[in-house]
Chain A
């Protein structure tokens, strides 16, 4: 999967973290247990949290 990793390597720390959080929210095995709106709220929160770190 090197090209996906290359792509992620090119991202700054803020985006890398945001990417992992977003995927975990929707892809991890427990994702189905949360409602759509809860997931959206959490994603919005993750985006706002990530703004503490600058992104290029």
Chain B
């Protein structure tokens, strides 16, 4: 696999997936993890 091409999309996809699931598990720390993980792609776009 061409990691130059797919590295960032896979990383952002994993972070999005973690964020989507984390907030389902519990409030507090899990919700915080979700904000961070899902927030990363939006910060990337803002940059």
Tell me, yes or no, whether A binds B. no
Interface residues of A (CB under 8 A from B): none
Interface residues of B (CB under 8 A from A): none
